[in-house]
Structure 1
Amino acid sequence: MPSFSSLGIGLGGNVNVNDLIKASVDAVKLPITRTNGLTQQAAVTNAKVSAFGQFKSLVSTLSDAAGKLTSVTGWNGVAATSSSTDFVTVSAVGGAAATSFNVQVQNLAKAQSSISDALTPAKSAVGAGTLTLTTGTWSGTPKTFAAGSDAVVKIDVTATDTLEDVASKINGSKAGVTATVLTDASGQRLMLRSKTTGESAGYQLGVTDADGSNTDSAGLSRVLSGSTEYAQNANATVNGVAVSSGTNVFANTVAGVTFTAVKPTTADVTVSVSKDNSAVKANVQAFITAYNAVNSALNDATKYDKDTKTAGLLQGDSSAVNLQNTLRMALQSVNASGAFRSLSDVGVVSAGGSGNLMPDGSLSLDATKFDKAMQTPDDVKAFFRGADGGNVTDGFAGKFQGITSKLLSTGGFFASKDQSYKEALKRNAADVERITDRASEVEKNLIARYTALDTKMSTMNQLNSYIQQQAVAWNKTL
């Protein structure tokens, strides 16, 4: 706003025009700035948007927790143990049959490796030609090689290439082997090793020497002379039956069970697979935790503290109350059939042990009652996800997830609430803009009026001063 500090010649030195204009403009803006005005209303609405955003996130977590109780995977948990993990470790997939068997490990899997005779002098050119690397399997005694399905890899060696250059070219060829150079007192040696273990991961090195002989001790053919340690499968017995694996992991030997050979043993290692209810209990506890989180957030937002006489952000808000009631009613769902009919039957109870809800609406798990129910795990499973062969929505968890999914859907509760708040904020912004424009117009008009008034008064004051001067002059002539 322009300053009128220079005014006062026409209006009188005691007139504070700036304060007069500001007071008028502030009066126009009062619907924006006053308590419970538009600014405060927008802040409250944004706070409610944030609160319902938090509720949505918590309900989404709750829906996911209910979903885990409908998943077959969560109900098929198994525990796999080894009597000696120093020799054999074990894991099992959900649904694997309870079983027990003995394992003995004869040897671990090995990769093929080879080392050439020493080439001298060190770091000298090896000789021109072409190396070939073929992957396949060595078998029998003496060893015979059967090429695999992979294409033969050719490595061109120039007349100036050293053994380090050859190793680098082999590594860059992606031939299924790694190459390194060993330098000792005798010279340099080319070392090769398969990238994977097992008999089928063997290799054969060949050469076409530029000197015309592929078997002499001169030129590139020198890298063929040396020693080879052939690849080997891991070998074990399961209950006395021989089994083999290209790696130390036996993944397909026993259905649903994977055991890994750590080192050879002549004594039996007992592997056991049994039903594991801990995953079910963890999923039930996760559901309780997720429900209590959203319930607690709703309690805090809708509470009224009579001691401090302060209300929560959503105290009396029908939408928040309806959301909480919807979730609480969903907990009261009763299955029409089955050994267990309600949550309290499987140990999800109030702290007092009667009914499903504590005074604040939260849940807890009675571990003793739950463990007793899990003595018949199929009945507990049927309660949460419906009977086998039936519909998942027949079980408690399926019904509950259906309700939360509806709340979270595109046209559901949260989407509708978010849209209503967006519209309220849009109206608020429009009202603020309208009032601000009106205040600006009032300010503009007042500035113009006071400026004109000051100019007019200044002219009149000048005329009055002239008249006074003339009067004094007239009086002196009389």
Structure 2
Amino acid sequence: MATISSPGVGTNGLDVKSIISQLVTLEKKPLDTLKLQAATVNTKISAYGQIKSLVSTLADAAGKLTSVTGWNGVTTTSSDSKFVSATAIGGTLPTTFSVEVQGLAKAQATASAALLPVGGALGAGTLRLELGKWSVAPASFTPGSGQPVDISISASDKLTDVASKINGSTAGVTASILSDASGERLLLRSKSTGEEFGFRLSVMEGGDTDIASAGNTDATGLSRLVAGSTTTQAALNAKATVNGIAVSSATNTFATTISGVTFKAEQITTAPIDITVGKDTAAVKTNVDEFVKAYNAINQLMQDATKYDAKTNAAGLLQGDSTAIALQNTLRNAIQSVTSGGGAFKRLADIGLTQQLGGDLTLDSTKFNKALTENPDDLKNLFRNTGSGSAEGIAVKIKAVTTNLLSADGFFKSKDDTLQLSLKRNAKDQATVNDKVDAFEKRITARYNALDKQMASLNGLNAYIAQQVTAWNKST
């Protein structure tokens, strides 16, 4: 900022700094208007961002009404979910069946004989773990389709090292160590339940590859892990009956027994448990309610933003904005559209969904519930019929409109680009004004500095003349 070089003029009663400050303030006056315009544009950007978010919510709500699963929802109930719980996928036909659980799925578990000394080395060799199925009588093991997993054990490895190596392998078995007064035991358990996920532990010492040879089962060295081991829990499938017919599952979840229904055995039953699958009309009503709520949120925001209050002479932020009005009309036209694909229903008003004064939607629950009960297919088609042209469902139309509005080159992107460009121009205009003000301040300060020097010179001349006149008068 330019400054006054000397008191000069100021000492003669003229407040130069104040004069320059006021002149600069006048030059800056256009900035007030530009800053107000920028603030208004930023507020509009925020408002359109909020509207965009609400339109996205409406698009999601319309999407649920165009989705098959939105109309094919089902409810699944159990007469006692503590024993048997159940779920069903959308579109499952209404049904009822009874389940009795005779046994839950189990994972095989084994325990080695007690080993002493505690913490001692076991001996070198190889452990082999195989997954497969055990038969009871006679006891035999049938390996599964997977490959055996061999684990190398060094001469210095302790039981903790063995357990760690088993847990770090891909054998499908977990290991832990139990310590009691008799020593320490290796506990093994299948990671999966079911008869097909049993396991067999074998030992191979000194390069012997025959797991049944005497050297690998003599209860010395590493073979102590298999000699004297016991099965504490056999691998079992869950056993149940459905309407009296026996079924089984490797887990407690029966996912393919009844088409579309998954039930889970929680406990062994003492009486039949009834599972009932029915149409979930409440989900349809919820989806329609969410659609109404989403549309009304947009309508209320747009009404407030575009209104003009004659009493207060106050205009809404978007009052007179042609693009905002076009957006309102686009959404209203979609809501008020007619379809030929809804059978008995042509428009939303036919099912109790009407627009009130101000544009908000309201739902007549009695009329809607009647349509849902008596004409569910026509109601569904009113919203989601995928036919072309006039047969297109209303929710399908609204989904298409909102998708277009939200697209990468749609309404909101175009509007935001326009507003952002306006901000850039405003910033440029502010910079231009500031440059002009700076130049003006420099010019006016320079002029007053020049005047200051001239006045100082004149004051000095005036003092000299006065001094000479005084001296002349004294000499005469």
Q: Same fold (TM over 0.5)?
A: yes
Q: Structure 1: how far apart are the matches of 2:99 and 2:77?
A: 12
Match of 1:151 in 2: 147
Q: Structure 2: how far apart are the matches of 1:223 and 1:32?
A: 89
Deviations 1:288-313 (A, max 9, x none): 00000001111121223344443321
Match of 1:222 in 2: 224
Q: Structure 1: how far apart are the matches of 2:120 and 2:312?
A: 91
Q: Structure 2: how far apart are the matches of 1:173 and 1:304?
A: 74
CA contact (8 A) 2:339 2:391 kept: no
- How many equivalent pairs are there? 466
Match of 2:212 in 1: none
Match of 1:292 in 2: 296
Shift of 1:174: 3.0
Question: Sequence identity of aligned pairs in percent?
Answer: 53
Secondary structure of 2:423's counterpart equals helix
Shift of 1:266: 4.4
Shift of 1:319: 2.3
Q: Structure 2: how far apart are the matches of 1:263 and 1:392?
A: 55
Paired AA for residue 216 in structure 1: D
Match of 2:133 in 1: 137
Q: Structure 2: how far apart are the matches of 1:231 and 1:335?
A: 60
1:402 equivalenced with 2:400 (yes/no): yes
Q: Structure 1: how far apart are the matches of 2:146 and 2:137?
A: 24
Within a 5 Å distance, the mapping from 1:463-474 to structure 2 comes to 463-474=461-472
Paired AA for residue 415 in structure 1: K
Deviates more, 1:450-459 or 1:186-195: 450-459
CA contact (8 A) 1:99 1:274 kept: yes
Secondary structure of 1:79's counterpart equals strand
Match of 1:28 in 2: 27
Match of 1:422 in 2: 420
Deviates more, 1:314-323 or 1:230-239: 314-323
Secondary structure of 1:374's counterpart equals helix
Match of 2:15 in 1: 16
1:384 equivalenced with 2:380 (yes/no): no
Match of 1:234 in 2: 238
CA contact (8 A) 2:3 2:445 kept: no
Could you tell me which of 192, 198, 216 is aligned with 1:196? 192
Q: Structure 2: how far apart are the matches of 1:11 and 1:223?
A: 107
Secondary structure of 1:119's counterpart equals coil
Deviates more, 1:128-137 or 1:178-187: 128-137
Match of 1:346 in 2: 351
Shift of 1:411: 3.0
| TM-score of the aligned structures, taking structure 1 as reference length | 0.93
Q: Structure 2: how far apart are the matches of 1:75 and 1:49?
A: 37
Shift of 1:3: 4.2
Paired AA for residue 287 in structure 2: N
Match of 1:351 in 2: none
Shift of 1:390: 7.0
Match of 1:277 in 2: 281
Secondary structure of 2:319's counterpart equals coil
CA contact (8 A) 2:2 2:441 kept: no
Match of 1:334 in 2: 338
Paired AA for residue 275 in structure 2: V
Could you tell me which of 44, 50, 57 is aligned with 1:54? 50
Secondary structure of 1:161's counterpart equals coil
Q: Structure 1: how far apart are the matches of 2:132 and 2:439?
A: 90
**What stretches of structure 1 move > 6 A for 4+ residues in a row?**
389-393
CA contact (8 A) 2:340 2:391 kept: no
Match of 2:110 in 1: 114
Shift of 1:18: 1.5
Change (3 A) 1:391 1:221: farther
Structure 2 unaligned regions, length at least 5: 209-214
| TM-score of the aligned structures, taking structure 2 as reference length | 0.93
Q: Structure 1: how far apart are the matches of 2:266 and 2:404?
A: 51
Deviations 1:385-428 (A, max 9, x none): 117x7789711111122222222233332222222212222221
CA contact (8 A) 1:96 1:256 kept: yes
Q: CA RMSD in A?
A: 2.0
Shift of 1:138: 1.8
Q: Structure 1: how far apart are the matches of 2:258 and 2:388?
A: 31
Secondary structure of 1:142's counterpart equals coil
Structure 1 unaligned regions, length at least 5: 349-355
Deviates more, 1:334-343 or 1:138-147: 138-147
Q: Structure 1: how far apart are the matches of 2:470 and 2:155?
A: 125
Q: Structure 2: how far apart are the matches of 1:368 and 1:395?
A: 22
Deviations 1:199-218 (A, max 9, x none): 11111111123498211122
Secondary structure of 2:216's counterpart equals coil
Secondary structure of 1:252's counterpart equals strand
Paired AA for residue 350 in structure 2: D
Paired AA for residue 378 in structure 2: D
Change (3 A) 1:410 1:172: closer
Change (3 A) 1:211 1:435: closer
Shift of 1:262: 0.9
Shift of 1:58: 0.7
Shift of 1:11: 5.2
